[in-house]
Structures are given as C-alpha cells and as structure tokens.
Amino acid sequence: MPKKQVHLAAHFPGVNNTTVWSHPDAGSHIEFSSFAHLARTAERAKFDFFFLAEGLRLREQAGKIYDLDVVGRPDTFTVLSALAAVTERLGLAGTINSTFNEPYEVARQFSTLDHLSGGRAAWNVVTSWDAFTGENFRRGGFLPQEQRYERAKRFLDAATVLFDSWRDGGEFAYRDEHFDISGRFDLPRSPQGRPVILQAGDSDEGREFAAAKADAIFSRHAGLEEGRAFHADVKGRLAKYGRRPEDLVVLPAATFALADTDAEAHELAHEVRRQQVSGQTAIKVLEQLWNADLSDHDPDGPLPSFDPVVGGDHIAQGRASVRMHRDPIAVATKWRELAEAKKLSIRELVIETSAKQTFIGSPSTIAGQIDDLVQADAADGFILVPHVTPVGLDDFADRVVPLLQERGVFRTEYTGPTLRDHLGLAPL
C-alpha cells in the first residue's frame, strides 16, 4: 500500500507572542519583503500554500493597546495579490470572516485573486464572536453564537452561487433570512471554479461546517492521540453530506525547534520558549486568566493568592484565547497545584503551560515525526508556524523537506498549476 503524501503549508505569524522579536534575524510584519521571503521559501520547498490570518483590530488589555505582540496587520487581499506576482505555484490562503463582510464583495475579491494567481486562491471562512472587533463595522459583533455559523453557512452558500454564476451568464439571485441579493456577477469563471475553502473552527458547529462545506480544516490537535481522534471525527462526518474522506484535508498547526542534534534542539526549544514568554508577557498571560490587573506582581514570584474574577467585562479585548478558559477558577486551581508541585514562578508556569513546540529535534527526527503522524492518520499534513519571521522556515525547507522527499512522502515538483492540484482535491 503506497504511503500517504504529506501536505505542508506556511503560516505567516500573526498577532501573538510566538514571534521572537529579539532574534537578530527578526524582521518586519508590515514590509512586503517579509511576506515575499516566507512565501518564496515555501514555494522553493514545494509547500502547498502560504497562509495569512486576519487581524481587524489591535488587541487591548486593561484599556491599552497590547504592544507585546504584533501591532498592525496589512490587508489580507492586498498582501496575497502582491504575492501572486512574485510566486508561480504556491497556494495563497487568507482568512476573511463571514460576520462583518458581505458575500458579493468577498466573492469578487477571491475570484479576482484566483484569476491573478492562475488558480491558487484559498479562503479560510471564519466567524467572529468579538463585539470589540465588531465596533469597527456597521454590523457590530453581536450575533449570538448559535447564529454565527448559520450566517457563515448562508454566506458561503451565497458566495458559491456567485462563483458558479458563470453558468448563467453571470446572473444570480440568492435569498434567505440573512441575504437578499441578485444581479450579474462581473467576473468569468476563475481557474479553480472557485477558491479552495478552508475552515478553522474546533467546536462541534465548526467541525460540522467543515464536513459540509470545506476542502481543508485547520486544527490545534497535532499530537498522536488527539490528532487521530480529531481526524476520525471530522472525516466521519463527511458521509452524511455525500462526501468522501479524501474531500477534506486535515491540517493541524505546528511549531518546531530544529537543530543539528536532538539535544541541541531541546536546548533551542527551551530558549525559544523563554524568549517568547518574557516577564511582561507572563504577567499579561496571567491577567487573561485572572481577568484582573496583576501589574504589581513579580513574574519571578508566586501566583496571585486570590481567585480569578469571573463575569463582567474582560480585561483582554480582541483575544479569542480567553474564551478557552471556560472555568477560570478551576484552571487557576490546577495552575497553583502545578506551580507548588514543581516550585514554579509565574513566568516558569506560563512557559510550562503554554503551547510547546510540536516538533523538536534534528532534521531526521522531525521528518520522522511528521511522516509517522501522517501515516497514523493523526493528520494529513501540517501548517508550520516559524518562531522567527521571515527567515524561520529557511532551515526547515533546506534540511527537513529533502528528508521527507527521500522517504517518498512529499513532492519533489508541483504536479499541477492549482492549489486544488496540490491538495489532491477533485477538480470542480
């Protein structure tokens, strides 16, 4: 039985503290040269696609701009369109939310990108829960949770009608409880028919949405057991929509620490985590759980003696991760127990509990880890997030990809012109 082929994508790091700003090679997150370098590296290594997330409002904490991570995010379509001019085969994927936009403008923008790139566009369809970000838009961010995915489904249905309107000479009409649009679409059929559809939700609604509509799904389950469980769950949902397992590609996000030897890689991983979690960052992360000003606490000291503040306005605005702490007091209790057992300071605890690198090791070790996880159906590939921008993918491209190619599990050349070709998706 032939081995599964590995899919790889490169994520330009966004609004978070995973980028090591103090690294001497760290570059701008605004200047086009940074986007171009990462995209060209990914294309040189024959990656499936470059991915750009969305940031529609600067995060705030305690009423001030959170300046410990990226401040500013260029427009997705403008960056991807510019990258189309400096790449030839690499897929170009971007997040555009369905809560604040309208189907006609988004369909027109993605269809344009698919034309400009010769069939390499992908749309990561997300919803937004965030009223704080919604203040930038006339619609606001106040859709109840149960309506967000319903609007997203109808949004994508409407956009699909527009993408496919070439069959009727561009004429379209779509009506439901969210949209009432009709007219004539002003672009011909794009090279892929329509862009590849990505989805990133991990909730039950998100998984169901992906099973019904998406070509690929991002996940945060990159380990063996949780990865296999997620992979089996979403693939198992496809049949009721008349779809096959190969119609949905499962791509967990993954970080890596790469060095000449495994021992050196573990030393590097530890140092990167300390650089990512400064004393200031540790206090801010703790505030996001405690929902309180902890600026008078020493990051090298113990955790707060009082419990997190539950309810009311949150101290951190525009940050989705705060919603993952569904029971802050229980999490705080668990963290106190861990800190006491291992004698950890605040900073050491945040380093201990924050996401560690997915892959740590020599080129051979990391290539083996990736191959093993894909062959075990824990994933179909990975979206790599380097800790240094824009050069953090260079070593991976030069030292790990050739080993995956030697194993026969990763392409040595692109076999088709479109992103659908790269992902092994059936043509439309």
Q: Which residues are annotated as a binding site?
A: 95, 149, 203
Q: How far is CA 378 from CA 6, 71, 205, 283, in A?
A: 12, 34, 21, 34
Classify the C-alpha dihedral 154-160-163-166 as positive or negative: negative
Token look-up 């007219």 returns: 183
Strand partners, 264: none
Q: Strands, E, within 150-260: which ranges?
A: 171-175, 180-184, 196-199, 216-219, 249-254, 256-258
Q: How far apart are the first and last CA of the chain?
A: 28
Is there a contact between 119 and 192 (Cβ–Cβ < 8 Å)? yes
Secondary element (H or E) of residue 419: helix 419-423
Mutual angle of helices 346-353 and 279-290, in 10-degree steps: 80
Q: How far apart are CA 228 and CA 124, in angstroms?
A: 23
In DSSP notation, 8-47 reads EEEEE--SSS-S-TTSTT---SSSHHHHHHHHHHHHHTT-
The one-character DSSP state at 190 is B
Residue list, annotated binding site for FMN: 95, 149, 203
Reported as half-sphere exposure (CB side, CA atoms, 13 A), residue 383 has a value of: 25
Q: Residues 272, 349: contact at Cβ < 8 Å?
A: no
b vs e for 138-158, b when ≥16 Cβ sit within 10 Å of the residue's Cβ? Answer: eeebebeeeebbbbbbbbbeb
CB < 8 Å & 24+ apart, contacts of 170-174: 174/103
